Amino acid sequence: MELSHYIDHTLLKASAIPNEIVKLCNEAKKHNFYAVCVNSCYVSLAANELKNSDVKVASVVGFPLGANNLQAKVCEAEQCIIDGADEIDMVLNIGFLKAELHKQVQEEIAAVKKAIGSQTLKVILETCYLTDNEIQIACQIAKQAGADYVKTSTGFGTGGATENAVKIMVEEVGDSLKIKASGGIKDAATAKKYIEIGVNRIGTSSGIEIVTAAKNDKDEHTY
């Protein structure tokens, strides 16, 4: 599969304006990215821009802290689907996980999955705040709750994807869930490293640089 088709082309900064979302969508179409990932207020705009393309629309829910109450997350997710989202990237309740309130964490993920039906649910673990054991537990909870993916990071925490966290996630649930690496992935070498480890999707705001560098590298090695 082409490297571009692993990429969720992402724009989640608080200052993002509509024109930038339109630009993001045009770039995704041009470079054949798998999806765009936007905040929920821009789902309808992105869906309209991408309606005649193969590019999916992903929206974040409970972003970036994960500390919204359950009903707020469910309501936001439902509205995203109504507005045209194909995928939901929800932040799990990190505080609940660290307090070992595992039942509540699982119920929340399951409720969001139920609300979006057959659409794809990615659960953001925000691994920079978790121990290795907590990453393992979060993966198992997401699996039991019916999620489709586990994802490393929001990109707004104290750190992004790491090789250690990704390896734990792949080892823990890689045979049953897909894995998305995100946060701090800015070059083709890093993206390829994670794909080789077992990642199915890359979340990045540097997608154009990644695929351009990968193409140039490929051209240089074509004889």
CATH code of residue 187: 3.20.20.70
Given the residues 8, 83, 86, 89, select the one marked as catalytic: 89
User: Domain range for residue 113?
Assistant: 3-220
Does the pLDDT of residue 220 top 50, yes or no? no
Q: What is the pTM of this model?
A: 0.96
- pLDDT, one tens digit per residue, over 9-66 is 999 999 999 999 999 999 999 999 999 999 999 999 999 999 999 999 999 999 999 9
Residue 89 is among the residues annotated as catalytic for this protein = yes
Q: What is the DSSP letter of 92?
A: P
Closest CA to 155 of 204, 191, 202, 207: 204
Choosing from 73, 122, 178, 180, which is the catalytic residue?
180
Per DSSP, helices labelled H in 32-161 are 43-49, 70-83, 94-98, 102-116, 132-144
- The count of structural domains within the chain is 1
For the question of residue 151 being annotated catalytic, the response is: yes
- Does residue 218 carry a catalytic annotation? no
Q: Can you give the pLDDT at residue 186?
A: 97
